[in-house]
Amino acid sequence: MIHNLVAFLDDYNAARLSEAIALLTDDVGWTDCDYQTQAVVSVTGKSNMTTYLRARFADHDMLTIGTVSNLNPEPSTNQSVGVDFSNRRSDTLKRLGLSAGIQGLLGAKFVFADDGRIVGAALASAAKDCLQ
C-alpha cells in the first residue's frame, strides 16, 4: 500500500501520466479542491481521472508528503491510509497569492484495493476544505 502511494505521488509530481494511471483501479473515485472556484471536484473512473490528471499536471500541481498513518489496521476491511501533506504548490495557488503553496493544512485519505492499487482518494470532502 505505502509503496504504491509513494509511487503514485512521485508519478503525480513528475507528471508521468501512464505510470500514475497504472496505479489506479478502473473505478477509482477522487475528490479534490478547485482552489480557483473554492469548490470540491469529484472524479470517477479511470478515463475521467486521466483528464483530471492532465489538468493537474498542466497546473504544475505538486504534493509533498508530510506524514502517513494507518487508518484501518484490520486487514479484512478496506485498506486505507491518511496522508498529511506538508505542502501543496501549483500555478493556480501562485495566482491566488500563495507563492509558497499551502503548508501544513492538507489531510487526505487514500483507499486501496486488494491488489494494492488506489481505489479512492479524498483530498477534500467539503467546500470549506478549499478555502485558503
- Relative orientation angle of helices 46-58 and 2-13, to the nearest 10 degrees: 50
Count of domains observed in the chain? 1
Strand ranges in 1-132 using DSSP code E only, listed in sequence order: 24-34, 39-44, 62-70, 79-89, 102-112, 118-122
* pLDDT score of 4 more than 90: yes
Mean pLDDT in the chain? 90
Can you give the pTM of this predicted structure? 0.91
* pLDDT score of 122 more than 90: yes
Which of residues 118 and 131 earns the better pLDDT score? 118
Percent pLDDT > 70 in the chain is: 90
* Domain membership of residue 34 as a residue range: 2-130
Q: What is the CATH number of the domain that holds 62?
A: 3.10.450.50
* pLDDT score of 129 more than 80: no
Mean pLDDT across the stretch 14-31?
A: 98
* Per-residue model confidence as pLDDT tens digits over 67-114: 998 877 666 665 889 999 999 999 999 999 999 998 876 789 999 998
Residue 74 per-residue DSSP state = -
Which of residues 79 and 127 earns the better pLDDT score? 79
Range with lowest mean pLDDT among 33-37, 48-52, 87-91, 104-108: 104-108
